[in-house]
């Protein structure tokens, strides 16, 4: 992760290569115990993108910073696809089904894609996250999870 | 001479282009047939369009580049701006210069103006006059925004001044002046005390051949699962006054939305009841229209997928001119995506059952400067059975971004743990091919071991060898 960040910093600070922003939507969803949802990745660039998706459970510290870990045993996630190729200016929808046997569950689906190469050939990989909060009741789930973690900032 | 230059440009510029975008189509709604080719270079964008519009051959070309912090376009470009309830768009051919900073937007053009044809597949102009233009907008930290637009388009003169002020919960905006030789004034006031409660009032005066004025007053409230809205509109043109009122309520429970709207204009009452269900990628709606004792039913809806999107929509629009008032229109849209090519078809049916359509295609080609790009199609088809595997290097470290083609042509990529999977419909072995040229990772690789095929339910292991360090 540190390597990726340093590459990104190097990319944006010094080399001046134009990297088109890629977007994920929605960023956050709230669910009841059984959740069927989807998110879309938009390739705003002019070349096709290979995207891989993988899921992580996460926990929050009191400042709201997330720490990712492998999926908890209480989370059963079925992704429709693990990867896709997105055309220039195209959008791809990833569907999933999620069950949480011990709510609340906090899951993030990371979409990873190669955004370009530097002039020196260093690969620039970008990750965007779709975050799912699962509770007994959908309403105010994110608020409940953040309050339980003692997050004091919004 | 100009056409010869255009032909040379069309034939010449794609040779070294980084990425090419090709578009073409036809529209009876927009009145044109033609195509466009755009070449994206690292430092500039070149574009050329040609076709027929309203029976005339039209063409256009432009070059857009950055120069000392300025965005410069030479050739065809639309000079169009809208602010504070008014706007103007002029098709230009000449030199356009724009600079945007945090607080200030400045744009100027000089050249010729004329009739423009801007469609999703072609942007051209038929120049007629000498023209110049200036747009300046300044945003202040206290929420005040001042805008000025001045355009000379042959014999048509525009000089518009706009002012808006936003201070929660109020937003006030107004503009006035000369809009293509016609005096006009427009004003708007919004009040939003809560995120789910807002009120708006607008007034417009256009001094055309006859005086056209419109007024509207509207309100919106959201109460949990319930939404309420109401609006009053009136317009007068050529001594014909058209009034309208609408009110509606909606209720949303889970994926189901129920909405009823009442429209009244010129003593005609239209009631529209809509039941809509959104499920995954499907949306279905049932519509009941009640107009002067007659009831009609309509079905709408759509599907939005990765390769295909289809939708059928009904909407009610207010037409202030001609005393039409509220009228219902129907729109059908179909979009297909095949590799890097998008195909679109849209049909509009107006209340008089006149159908008009727009159809166009757009595709991207990677040029020699674009570098390696993934070229295969990789959408898995979905299914009950899972083919999965893991890709590692000679040190048994996971390889991310490795491309593997499964039987049937589906291409998948390995994730940060080297894992890949695809859902298939049949429980039978699928062939495996490692696509070394398609890797979304750095370095050059060779295949050390790879099974001939993969069986659903059993994880396969693919071992690679790095040929050259990244």
Domain boundaries, chain B: 64-117+124-358, 385-468
At A47, the pLDDT band (50, 70, 90 cuts) reads: confident
Q: What is the pLDDT of residues B213-260, one digit of tens each?
A: 999 999 999 988 899 999 999 998 887 888 999 999 999 988 899 999
At A12, the pLDDT band (50, 70, 90 cuts) reads: very low
Whether A1 has its CB under 8 Å from any CB of chain B: the answer is no
Q: What is the pLDDT of residues B357-390, one digit of tens each?
A: 999 999 988 765 555 445 545 555 567 889 999 9
Subunit contact B441:A123, Cβ cutoff 8 A: yes
Whether A93 has its CB under 8 Å from any CB of chain B: the answer is yes
Give residues with Cβ within 8 angstroms of B20, minimum separation 6. B14, B37, B38, B39, B40, B364, B365, B366, B367
Q: Tell me the C-alpha distance between B277 and A74, whole Å.
A: 31
The closest alpha carbon to B373, from B436, B434, B438, belongs to B438
Q: What is the pLDDT of residues B421-470, one digit of tens each?
A: 998 888 888 899 999 888 888 888 999 999 998 889 889 999 999 886 54
Has domain B64-117+124-358 been given CATH number 3.40.50? no
Mean per-residue pLDDT over chain A, rounded: 82
> What is the DSSP pairing of strand B70-83 with strand B86-100?
antiparallel
pLDDT of residue A14 exceeding 50, the answer is no
Q: What is the pLDDT of residues B262-316, one digit of tens each?
A: 999 878 888 989 999 988 889 998 888 887 777 878 888 999 988 899 999 877 7
Any idea where the domains of chain A sit in the sequence? 2-148
Per-residue pLDDT at B323: 60
In angstroms, what separates the C-alpha of A131 from chain B's closest C-alpha? 18
Subunit contact A54:B415, Cβ cutoff 8 A: yes
B244 compared with B17, residue with greater pLDDT:
B244
Q: Which of residues 328-357 of B touch A (CB under 8 A)?
A: 337, 339-340, 342
In angstroms, what separates the C-alpha of B225 from chain A's closest C-alpha? 12
In angstroms, what separates the C-alpha of B364 from chain A's closest C-alpha? 7
pLDDT of residue B93 exceeding 60, the answer is yes
Give residues with Cβ within 8 angstroms of B67, minimum separation 6. none
CA distances from A61 to A151, B40, B358 (A): 7, 45, 53
Please list every residue in chain A whose beta carbon sits closer than 8 Å to the beta carbon of residue B340.
Answer: 48, 87-88, 90
Asked if B454 contacts B429 with a C-beta cutoff of 8 angstroms, the reply is: yes
Please list every residue in chain A whose beta carbon sits closer than 8 Å to the beta carbon of residue B306.
Answer: 84, 92-93
Per-residue pLDDT at A21: 66
Subunit contact A117:B442, Cβ cutoff 8 A: yes
Q: What is the pLDDT of residues A126-143, one digit of tens each?
A: 889 999 999 988 888 999
Q: What is the pLDDT of residues B76-92, one digit of tens each?
A: 998 999 998 888 888 89
Asked if B92 contacts B78 with a C-beta cutoff of 8 angstroms, the reply is: yes
- Closest chain A residue to B382 measured between Cα atoms? A80
Whether B416 has its CB under 8 Å from any CB of chain A: the answer is yes
Whether B371 has its CB under 8 Å from any CB of chain A: the answer is yes
Per-residue pLDDT at B380: 54
A41 compared with B291, residue with greater pLDDT:
A41
Q: Tell me the C-alpha distance between B263 and B246, whole Å.
A: 4
Which architecture, in CATH terms, is A2-148?
Sandwich (2.60)
At B322, the pLDDT band (50, 70, 90 cuts) reads: low
The fraction of chain B above a pLDDT of 70, given in percent, is 89
Q: What is the pLDDT of residues B104-153, one digit of tens each?
A: 999 999 999 988 888 889 888 888 889 999 999 999 999 999 999 999 99
Other residues' Cβ atoms within 10 Å of the Cβ of residue A102: 11
- Region B323-349: mean pLDDT is 84
Whether B66 has its CB under 8 Å from any CB of chain A: the answer is no
Asked if B94 contacts B110 with a C-beta cutoff of 8 angstroms, the reply is: yes
At B1, the pLDDT band (50, 70, 90 cuts) reads: very low
Domain B385-468, CATH homologous superfamily name and number: Carboxypeptidase-like, regulatory domain (2.60.40.1120)
Whether B69 has its CB under 8 Å from any CB of chain A: the answer is no
pLDDT of residue B188 exceeding 80, the answer is yes
Subunit contact A50:B19, Cβ cutoff 8 A: no
pLDDT of residue B201 exceeding 90, the answer is yes
Whether B379 has its CB under 8 Å from any CB of chain A: the answer is yes
Q: Quick check: ipTM above 0.85?
A: no
Per-residue pLDDT at A20: 59
Give the closest of B340, B421, B441 to A48, CB-based.
B340
Per-residue pLDDT at A11: 37
Per-residue pLDDT at B467: 80
């Amino acid at each position: 992760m540190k390597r990726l960040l340093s590459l990104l910093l190097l990319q944006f600070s010094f080399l001046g290569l134009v990297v088109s922003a890629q977007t994920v939507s929605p960023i956050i969803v709230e669910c009841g115990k059984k959740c069927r949802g989807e998110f879309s990745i938009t390739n705003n660039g002019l070349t096709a993108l290979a995207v891989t998706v993988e899921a992580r459970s996460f926990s929050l510290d009191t400042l709201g910073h997330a720490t990712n870990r492998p999926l908890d045993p209480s989370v059963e996630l079925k992704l429709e696809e693990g990867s896709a190729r997105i055309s220039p200016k195209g959008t791809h929808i990833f569907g999933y089904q999620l069950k949480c046997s011990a709510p609340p569950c906090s899951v993030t689906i990371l979409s990873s894609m190669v955004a370009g190469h530097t002039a020196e050939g260093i690969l620039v990989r970008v990750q965007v996250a779709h975050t799912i909060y699962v509770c007994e009741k959908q309403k105010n789930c994110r608020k409940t999870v953040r309050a339980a973690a003692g997050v004091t900032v919004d | 001479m100009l056409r010869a230059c255009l032909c040379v440009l069309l034939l010449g510029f794609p040779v070294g282009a980084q990425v090419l975008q090709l578009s073409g189509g036809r529209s009876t709604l927009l009145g044109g047939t033609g195509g466009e080719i755009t070449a994206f270079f690292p430092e500039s964008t070149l574009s050329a369009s040609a076709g027929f519009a309203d029976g005339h051959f039209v063409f256009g070309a432009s070059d857009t580049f950055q120069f000392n912090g300025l965005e410069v376009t030479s050739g065809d470009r639309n000079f169009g701006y809208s602010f504070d309830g008014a706007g103007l768009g002029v098709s230009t051919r000449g030199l356009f210069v724009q600079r945007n900073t945090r607080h200030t937007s400045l744009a100027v053009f000089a050249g010729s103006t004329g009739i423009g044809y801007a469609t999703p597949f072609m942007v051209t102009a038929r120049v007629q006059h000498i023209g110049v233009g200036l747009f300046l907008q300044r945003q202040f930290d206290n929420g005040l925004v001042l805008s000025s637009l001045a355009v000379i388009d042959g014999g048509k003169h525009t000089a518009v001044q706009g002012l808006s002020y936003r201070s929660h919960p109020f937003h006030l905006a107004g503009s006035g002046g000369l809009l293509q030789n016609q005096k006009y004034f427009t004003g708007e006031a919004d009040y939003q005390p809560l995120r789910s409660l807002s009120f708006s009032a607008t007034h417009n005066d256009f001094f055309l051949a006859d005086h056209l004025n419109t007024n509207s007053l509207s309100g919106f409230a959201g109460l949990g699962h319930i939404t309420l809205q109401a609006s009053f509109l009136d317009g007068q043109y050529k001594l014909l006054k058209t009034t309208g009122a609408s009110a509606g309520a909606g209720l949303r429970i889970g994926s189901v939305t129920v909405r009823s709207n009442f429209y009244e204009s010129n003593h005609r009452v239209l009631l529209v009841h809509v039941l809509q269900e959104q499920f995954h990628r499907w949306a279905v709606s049932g519509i009941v229209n009640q107009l002067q004792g007659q009831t009609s039913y309509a079905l709408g809806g759509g599907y939005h997928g990765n390769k295909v999107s289809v939708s059928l929509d009904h909407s009610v629009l207010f037409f202030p001119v001609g005393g039409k008032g509220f009228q219902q229109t129907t729109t059908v849209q179909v979009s297909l995506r095949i590799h890097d090519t998008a195909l679109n078809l849209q049909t509009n049916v107006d209340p008089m059952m006149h159908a008009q359509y727009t159809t166009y295609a757009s595709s991207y080609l990677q040029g020699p400067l674009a570098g390696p790009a993934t070229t295969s199609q990789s959408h898995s088809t979905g299914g009950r059975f899972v083919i999965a595997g893991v890709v590692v290097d000679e040190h048994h470290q996971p390889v991310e971004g490795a491309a593997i083609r499964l039987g049937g042509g589906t291409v998948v990529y390995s994730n940060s743990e080297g894992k890949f999977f695809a859902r298939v419909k049949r429980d039978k072995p699928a062939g495996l091919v490692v696509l070394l040229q398609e890797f979304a990772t750095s370095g050059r690789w060779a295949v050390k071991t790879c099974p001939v095929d993969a069986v659903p339910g059993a994880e396969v292991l693919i071992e690679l060898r790095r040929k050259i360090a990244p």
